[in-house]
Amino acid sequence: MNGRESEVLEVLLEAATTVRREQDLAGRLIPPPAWWDLAPATLDELFRRQVFAREVERALDPAGRSGTVKAVMGRILGA
């Protein structure tokens, strides 16, 4: 993998690490656009980055909540 390809992969992985999910008309959560561009083999690395990102979110959030918990709470309270 050359430098440019590696830079593109980094951006895709970080974009896919987000907790924000759109919903389709049936209410199903849609994977972020970057997720579709990742090869299956790189999805293991995405898993690790998501685990790390959620730990960082817990540590930096005043209530100790990860982005996942905040996203679900947003839907529960907004429902």
Partner 1 sequence: MTEIDSAFLAARAGDAEAFADWMGRVERPIRFGLRRFARAVDVEGVVQETLMRMWLLARDASRPLTGEDASLRFAIGMARNLARAEARRLGREAHLPIDDSLEDPVPPDPPSDPGLARAIRECFEKLSRKPREALLARVRYGATTPDRSVAKLLLMSPNTFWQNIARARRQLADCLRGKGVPLEEILS
- Interface pick for partner 1 out of 19, 24, 25, 37 (rule CB under 8 A): 19
CB 17 within 8 A of CB 50: yes
- Cβ-Cβ contacts under 8 Å for 21 (sequence gap 6 or more): 29, 30, 31, 32, 71
Q: Check residue 26 for interaction with partner 1 (CB under 8 A).
A: no
User: Residues 29-48: x/- map of binding to partner 1 (CB under 8 A)?
Assistant: xxxx--x----xx-xx-xxx
How far apart are CB 3 and partner 1 at their closest, in Å? Answer: 13
H-helix or E-strand spanning residue 26: none
H-helix or E-strand spanning residue 15: helix 3-16
- Give the residues lining the site for partner 1 (CB under 8 A): 7, 10-11, 13-15, 17-21, 28-32, 35, 40-41, 43-44, 46-61, 64-77
